[in-house]
Chain A
C-alpha cells in the first residue's frame, strides 16, 4: 500500500505537524511500509466477526450524577503557557472572513 507525498502532507496538516521535504519523502516510504505490513490482516476473512471497539468484556459502566469538587484555578492554570486573570490566553481566534 502506497502513501503519496500529498497524503503525508494532508495528514501532517491535520496533526499540525511541520515536516520538511526530506521528511515527507521518508515518511511516505515508512508509512507505506507500515500500511503494507498491517495490510496483511486484510487477508483474514472477518465477514463473520463482530467489529471490536473495546478489548474488555464490559458494557454500561456508568457513574451517578453527583458533583465532585473541581480543581482550584491555581492548579487548572498551572501548566498554561499563557493566561490573563483566570482565563487561558491563546492567539486570537478570528472566525469571520470578509
Chain B
C-alpha cells in the first residue's frame, strides 16, 4: 500500500511575453513628425498625432517594410490581407481616445524563436528551446506622462504619440525566469541585427510585459494570469518576474486565489503593485479603422524582403558550431551581436584555432569590455592583435599566464603585444641553463623541503615549481621547469 506523503505542491510557471519594439524610422507611423528621442516636450507633434478632427493618417512605408522583415526573421506567416483597427479607451496620453492598432487581421502570425539556454540550466549545456510567436502587429505609441513629486497634476508630452511600434506576442511557452530573459535577449539581438529597433530598454524603445501564471506541476490548464508592466531593463524583467513568482506561490500555498489584473513593477521598492482603474479597460470595442485602407501584401514583395534578410543570430550560431566546431554555448555568446561575431571570425582567419579564440573573447575580452563599459565596435583590441598574442603563446615566446597580463595592457594602452612583451622583458625563459640556475637557487634556499621530497613527499614538486616560477617573475616556461626539476630532484 502506498503511504500518504505530504510533499508540498510543486508549481510551474507559465509565461508569455508581450514585447513592444519601437521601429527605427525617421518619422512617425501615420504622420511626418520626427521620432527623435529626447526632444523638448510637445515639439514633435502635428494635427494628426494630436488627434485633431478631420485629419487623415497615412501609413509610413518603412514601418510596413520593417514589420514584414521582422515577421520573416521570426518565421511568421505574413498575412496577404491585413488592416488596422481602433482600440478604444480613455487616457490622458491618448489624444484621439483610441489607439490605431491591429486586431483580427495582424500582419504576422504563427512564428517562432529559438533560444539557447545558458550552460547549467536544466543540467544541459547550451540547450535550444523553440518558443512560439503568436503574432506581431503594427501600432502607434501613446504619449508620455510625467508625475512630478507632490504636484496634484500629471504632465503630458505627446512627442511619443504616433511613434511606430511592433507588438510581438509570444505563445505561453516560457517556463522559467531564465527562459524569459533568454527569449527577450534573443529577440532584441534579432531586432538589432535587422536594424529595425535600437533595443534600448532604458529609453523605452524596447518594452516587455510578461503575462505570468502558476499551475501545479502536471496540471494541463493554465492558472489565472497577471500582466506585469513598467519594466525598463533586463535586470528588472528578471527581478519583477521572480517577485511575482514568489507572490503568486505564496497566495496559492495559503489557499488563496490569483486575481486577473495588471500589476506595475515598482523599481524603488522592488515589488509589484496593482494598477488602478483598469477594471473595465479590457472592453476595447475594437473596430476596423475607417481612415486607413487595407494592406495587400503580394507574395513577390515578401520574397523580395526575404532576400534582404541578413544572416540572423540563430543561423550564424548553427554555422559557428558546424564550421568552427565550438560548443553551442560559445556560439550563442559570440553571435549575440553582429560586431562580436565579426570580431571572432576576423580573429580565427588569422589564428585558426576557434576554441582558443572563443575562450579568450568570452573570458578576457568580454570582461575588459564590461569593466570599461566599452563596445567591441569601439575597437580597443583589433582582431589581428589578439591573434598575434595567441601566436606568441603557441611559439613559446610568452607563457599563457603572462599573456593575460599583456592582454590587459594591450586593452589599456592600445599597443601591439610584441611591443609590450619586448619593452617589459616578458619573453618566456626557455633556455635550460637559465632555468637550471633558478632551480639551483630554489633548492639551495629550501634544504628541508628537498629532504622531505627525497623521503617520498612527492607532492612538494608543486611547491618547487611555484618557487622557480616566482623567482623568474612568471617568465619561466612551466613545462621546462617541471621537466628539469624532476630531473634535478631525481639526481639527489
Contact = CB atoms under 8 A, between A and B. Distances in A.
B37 interface: no
B152 A92 contact: yes
A87 B42 CA distance: 7
A93 B293 contact: no
Contact of A93 (B154, B266, B273, B296): B154
A29 B19 CA distance: 44
Given A65-B26, A66-B27, A67-B26, 7 more contacts: A54-B290, A62-B64, A65-B62, A67-B27, A67-B34, A87-B41, A93-B145
A38 interface: no
Interface string B116-139: 000000000000000000000000
Contact of B153 (A63, A70, A92, A95): A92
Contacts of A16: 90
Q: What are the 5 tightest A-B residue pairs by CB atom distance, in nearest-first order? A: A68-B32, A53-B288, A87-B155, A65-B62, A88-B156
Nearest to A77: B42
Interface residues of A: mostly helix, strand, loop or mixed?
A: loop
Which of the four size classes fits the interface of chain A? 35 or more
Contacts of A54: 83, 288, 290, 293-294
Interface residues of B: mostly helix, strand, loop or mixed?
A: loop
A56 interface: yes
Interface of B: 25-27, 31-34, 40-47, 50, 58-64, 83, 88, 90-92, 145-147, 151-158, 264, 266, 273-276, 280, 283, 285, 288-290, 292-296
A69 B91 CA distance: 26
Contact of B275 (A73, A87, A95): A95
A97 B274 contact: yes
6 contacts: A53-B290, A61-B292, A65-B25, A73-B40, A85-B41, A98-B273
A64 B275 contact: no
Contacts of B289: 53
Contacts of B295: 59-60
Contact of A76 (B32, B34, B45): B45
A61 B59 CA distance: 7
Contacts of A63: 32, 58-61
A89 interface: yes
Nearest to A58: B293
A56 B60 CA distance: 20
A41 interface: no
A93 B42 contact: no
B58 A61 contact: yes
B276 A97 contact: yes
A56 B153 CA distance: 44
Contacts of B283: 10, 14
B146 A70 contact: no
